[in-house]
Structure 1
Amino acid sequence: MIRAVVFDVGETLVDETEIWGSWADWLGVPRHTFSAVVGAMAVRGKGHWEAFRVFKPDFDVEVEDGRRALAGRGTRFGPEDLYPDVRPCVEALREMGVWVGIAGNQPVRAERDLLDCGLPVQMIATSAGWGVKKPEPAFFERIVAECPYQAHEIVYVGDRVVNDVVPARAAGLATALIRRGVWGFVPDAFDPERLADVRLRGLDELPRWVAERRRA
């Protein structure tokens, strides 16, 4: 039985289109060019920060993020950046009595951004706040420690097989893979080994799947 759902952040809850675009603007690169390079890195199995180093070889995210913040152009998101299916999904899960949390690879300031989105969740956590990031096993161990249920009663929802599905499954969690965002359409997201317990086209499909698991 599924008693808890924990969501990733970027491209699971938050549409990062404008976030990526603002980084392209900061680097002085056309947005479509920057997006193409990010996609190329994703297909090659490289981290997205490698795309930044194509245009700025000495790129350091902490340094650049600080510079952007000082210039009043820091990376932030708000309720308007949530995908349209997010709030209805979370509200439906809560009405079912499901414990809902959010935990993703994000800077500490994203915790405030998520709080400001006003979602009815019981946990908001970031990798920076915890001092451990995906796909490290300790990240998912922390999820289990923070959640009032056992690992097999928790489903982790994310858009990346390598970062989300594989390590969550290894930690004993159920997994849901959502196909959207850059990593939602690269080859590993097709999940050829069918590792995810469910593959979603949108979060509107999740409450029904959880309800079925709760009846099983």
Structure 2
Amino acid sequence: MIRAVVFDIGETLVRDDRYWGSWADWLGASRHTVSAVVGAVVAQGRDNADALRLIRPGIDVASEYAAREAAGYGEVLDETDLYPDVRPALAGLRRAGVRVVIAGNQTTRVGELLRGLDLPADLIATSGDWGCAKPDQDFFTRVLAASGTIADQTLYVGDHPANDVFPAAAAGLRVAHLRRGPWGRLWADDPDVVAAADWRVNGLEELIDVVTG
């Protein structure tokens, strides 16, 4: 029985369009170029920050992020960034008596913005809040503590094989791989992903049947 569902953030709950578009504008690259480079990085199974390093060789991503913030071009997140099934799915899970947690690799600022959206979730946390990031097992130790239940009653939902599926499974959690966004779609039928995921879903509302069925 699943008693808690924990959600990744980027390309699980929130579209990354605005994020990559803002980086393109900041770096003076076309949005098409950035999109294409991100796609190439995804196809190679590399870290998405490598896309920025390809566009601007030698970039210090952390320093450039801080410069953007200081210049007033920092992170923005509002209702339009959410996928349309987010609120119905989260609300449906809570009605089913499931604890709903949001926890992903994001900054503390994104955590603040998400909490400001008044989502139907019991807890919202980010890697910036916790001081550890996926795929580190310390992150999934924090996920399990936040779930309020045991590992095999906790379902982690995400799109990214290396950051979500494999480390969550290694931590003993149940796993749902979401076919959404570039990572979710490109790796949806990878044999290792198929083997590691307990469920493979095309949308978040399918999770209501998973926990009640």
Q: TM-score range by the shorter chain?
A: over 0.9
Q: TM-score, normalised by structure 2?
A: 0.95
CA deviation string 1:134-155 (max 9, x = no partner): 1111111111122210011000
- How do 1:13-32 residues align onto structure 2 when only pairs under 5 Å count? 13-32=13-32
Q: Pick which of 54-63 and 143-152 moved more.
A: 54-63
Give the SS at the match of 1:37.
helix
Give distance in 2, aligned partners of 1:69 and 1:137: 29
Retained in 2: the 8 A contact 1:161–1:191?
no
Retained in 1: the 8 A contact 2:159–2:184?
yes
Give distance in 2, aligned partners of 1:210 and 1:23: 38
Q: How many angstroms does 1:58 deviate by?
A: 2.1
Retained in 2: the 8 A contact 1:65–1:75?
no
Q: TM-score, normalised by structure 1?
A: 0.94
CA deviation string 1:78-125 (max 9, x = no partner): 122100000000000011110000110011111111101211211111
Identity %: 51
Unaligned runs of 5+ in 2: none
CA deviation string 1:32-62 (max 9, x = no partner): 1111101101111111111101121122222
CA deviation string 1:13-38 (max 9, x = no partner): 00111211111111111111111101
Retained in 2: the 8 A contact 1:90–1:100?
yes
Unaligned runs of 5+ in 1: none
**Match in the other structure for 2:201:** 200
Give distance in 1, aligned partners of 2:60 and 2:17: 21
Q: Does structure 1 residue 110 correspond to structure 2 residue 110?
A: yes
Q: Does structure 1 residue 140 correspond to structure 2 residue 140?
A: yes
Give the SS at the match of 2:211.
helix
Q: Does structure 1 residue 183 correspond to structure 2 residue 183?
A: yes
Count matched residues. Answer: 211
